Amino acid sequence: GVVPDSTMSRLVQQGAMVPVLPGTWLRADLVAIPGWRAAAACAWRPDAVVTGDAAAALTFWSERSVPVVEVACRTEIRRPGFRFVRRSIPGDLMRWQGATCLTAPALTAIDLAPITDGESIDTVLRSKTVRIKDLHAALEATRYRRGNRDRRRLLLDSRAEPWSVAERIAHRLLRTAGIEGWRANRPIVLRRQLFYLDIAFGAIRLVIEIDGRAFHSGPDVFESDRVRQNALTTDGWTVLRFTYR
């Protein structure tokens, strides 16, 4: 809303409001929240599209740290806490959250792929918000960007839709060794429960499970892993477990 200059000056002096961009303020308790900083950028610049870490945190990767809010717009501008970059985003790769314009999850994941070694791709696929073909379409729609060779390589590594960096490495090792006959994240119903096998060789009933600490150290997962392994073993599957290391 519109606030008289005298009132805003008093609020700033009291520490209740903080100027974050020219003519744009946030309540002091909201300044550190990425979603509000992103909204401030879009309020200040009508052509702003929030990208990178902030776009990921606001859509498919809530745990992603956002040290700086990256914004695509018509001109490059320097502002503390923000990075405004001259860049044009295709209209069909934009999404709105209220008054905040963001890159769509597919493009956000592709953007972040080189600096996350593909983890952004794994995370967005695990979130079920996009499919592999959406990622390929986003890359094709921005085909002339610098760094696309690395993005394309990481996307190629994602053809089997890994759900973690460790799974991505395992898939790469299998392909490099010329080992075939496997399927990633294969669904199977045992004891009336649906399980997803990390890497399954169906013809020989062999399962490779990739155990990362982030997903397998919680008490519920610890219990379900044992139920899962017992169900697979009694159904005639051989289970081999590997860590990231």
How does pLDDT run across 157-176, given as a tens digit for each residue? 776 667 777 888 898 899 88
Task: State the average pLDDT over residues 19-45.
Answer: 93
Q: What b/e string do you get for 10-26 counting C-beta neighbours within 10 Å, with b at 16 or more?
A: ebeeeeebeebbeeebb
Distance CA 202, CA 143 (A): 37
Of 197 and 216, the structure prediction assigns the larger pLDDT to 197
pLDDT beyond 60 at 191: yes
Is residue 211 a contact partner of residue 243, using CB atoms and an 8 Å limit? yes
pLDDT score at 211: 85
Task: State the average pLDDT over residues 30-37.
Answer: 93
Residue 27 forms beta bridges with which residues?
17
| Strand 24-27 to 82-86 pairing | unpaired
pLDDT beyond 60 at 105: yes
Q: Is the whole-model pTM more than 0.75? A: no
Distance CA 64, CA 237 (A): 37
